[in-house]
Amino acid sequence: MVDKKSIILLSLVAIIAVIPLVLYSGMGEDEGYFGGADGAAGEAIEETGYKPWFSSIWEPPSGEIESLLFALQAAIGAIVIGYVFGYYHGQAKERKKIENEANKTAKNSK
């Protein structure tokens, strides 16, 4: 599943994700870092004097519950991806085995 090319690719992903943490190391939410581009756009709209006319039916009651649900979302996705690729991987292995055996019997019959 993981060859040399893939390792390079995934390392790149890790590096890009870590660079900001190094750049702003020591900074946190209190200094206004890593809080999310989210609030910014909302604030920009509220500055125009606009009042949201509808609010969420249900909101996670705390940051903990929110991360629970985010983790759940990621877990559901990861399980599906892992299952399908695991299945494909097994299929490919089995296919190879059958091919090898077929080659062997073909050779023997010669």
Tell me which residues touch another protein (CB under 8 A): 1, 5-6, 9-10, 12-13, 16-17, 19-21, 23-24, 27, 29, 32-45, 48, 50, 52-60, 62-63, 66, 69-71, 73-74, 76-81, 84-85, 87-89, 91-92
Q: Judged by CB, which is closer to another protein: 45, or 100?
A: 45
Shortest spacing between CB 85 and another protein, in angstroms? 6
Q: Judged by CB, which is closer to another protein: 62, or 108?
A: 62
Region class of 90: left (phi > 0), else alpha (psi between -120 and 50), else beta: alpha
List, in order, residues 6 or more apart from 34 with CB less than 8 Å away.
20, 24, 27, 28
Q: Judged by CB, which is closer to another protein: 9, or 102?
A: 9
